A and B are shown apart, each in its own frame.
Chain A
Amino acid sequence: MRVVVDFDLCESNAVCMGIAPEVFEVRDDDFLYVLQEEPDESLRSKVEEAASRCPKQAITIEG
């Protein structure tokens, strides 16, 4: 599984961070950082939830 964020769409709403803080972090500079681009399979449901609840649909999961 590979997490891809379209940073042209991302508005740093930080919803993803609330769901999967292991993978997504919005820092004090207001930018989103992907902490793990290839997170463990055990995080899949959380990452899928984050992707589906992103207000900008900026997160996609490959593989």
Chain B
Amino acid sequence: MSSLQRIVIVGASLAGLRAAETLRAEGFEGSITVVGDEPHLPYDRPPLSKQVLRGEWDAERVALPAARNEALDLTWEVGVAATGLDQAARTVALADGRQLPYDGLVIASGAAPRHLPGTEHLDRVHALRTIDDALAVRRRLEAGVGRVLVVGAGFIGAVVAASCREAGVEVTMVEPLPAPLARVLGPEMGGVVADLHRDHGVDLRVETGVEAVVEGPEPGSPLHVTLTDEQVVEADVVVVGIGVIPNTGWLHSCGLLIEDGVLCDATTLAAPGIVACGDVARWPNTLFDEVMRVEHWEHALDMGAHAARRLLAGDGPGEPFTPVPFFWSDQYDRKIQLAGRVRPTDQIEVVAGSIADRRFCALYGREGRVVGALTMNMPAKVIRYRRQISEGLRWDDALAAAAEPPAPPAR
């Protein structure tokens, strides 16, 4: 093993925690210090927009069990942000003035939600990223609201809209693109998601954005939200889900390449002795011949583990990180899952089930290859295709196989 004695992980997050677990699992016996700006040990974010928002789970339930595993022997520095990195001195600066020395550094500082310009002073306009955000929105809902306005129909917005409808709250959702999730699924499959939301009573406004949000005429009266199509919507609460910005401010002028995230090589190495993982990391995924940054849950786990192993490999060449990205999103009684990396220009073919039933599997193809598999309530299919995509599944072969009658059970 290398000469690492002190490893600092910036990011008390899923990716950071997984990196710590992996370091120990690989036999690293030196010190591990985990720095996090939130005053909490690492927790799981997917339930925030669902079980926590709906009041079904309390805050403790989202804690990640590994964070309390004393056998990992981690030193926690939570509630204090990292504010700087000095590569020459090999130190991380903290907001309270301390300098943490390291031999190896894992950058897992995540991303922060984009804000709706001009709404910073409005306390009824919320982001949804942290447990504190989720509890704040939940308190609003529990206090009784007439209507929630969801700005942005991406992952966060679509799930928040579904959770609010399930709680019986009226929802208006606005999205600049032609359909929800259109950026990741393309307009055609985004349209399926649009119909799902409309059928559940969401007032969905597409190809429009928010122009201005102002307080109503009296205290407690609804916010007045002017849309870019000049219509006005009243809402008691606004939840904004318009994407995130990688948390790289603390890496300002430290010598690392920052381009919408920390730019790594194909093995997750950002510089000698420094790796990055999770939402904050951008790296060339050679399987897709694309430099990508991925914000999914499973990606945080896998890249966290890979980055830890890469750090321990020291001056060795390291393995390239070549995952097939994967996400799931539960909306109402539908489970939407996508394996792969798709673009709006890809060809799309439904190979199982039917869109009318909202139970189907669709493949995305580009240049003769299958680059993605999308399922709605067909989890087994997406997992099988995920493996095949990693093996270079050809478009023609996939369609031919899908057209054959199902094989008899193996057993």
Contact = CB atoms under 8 A, between A and B. Distances in A.
A14 B297 contact: no
Interface residues of B, number: 19
B383 A18 contact: yes
Interface string A1-45: 000000000011111011000000111101000000000000000
A53 B382 contact: no
A32 to B, nearest CB: 9
B383 A15 contact: yes
A12 to B, nearest CB: 5
A14 B380 contact: yes
Contacts of A27: 380
B46 A26 contact: no
Interface string B368-405: 00000000011110110011000000000000000000
B65 interface: yes
B46 A18 contact: no
Contact of A14 (B21, B46, B382): B382
Instruction: Categorize the interface residue count of chain A.
Output: 10 to 19
A37 to B, nearest CB: 16
Interface in B58-77: 65
B383 A57 contact: no
A55 B297 CA distance: 8
Contact of B335 (A13, A28, A57): A13
Contacts of A52: 21, 301
B386 A18 contact: yes
A30 B33 CA distance: 41
A55 B45 CA distance: 11
B328 A30 contact: no
A15 B337 CA distance: 11
A14 B330 contact: no
A14 B379 contact: yes
Contacts of A17: 380, 383
A55 B65 contact: no
A53 B382 CA distance: 16
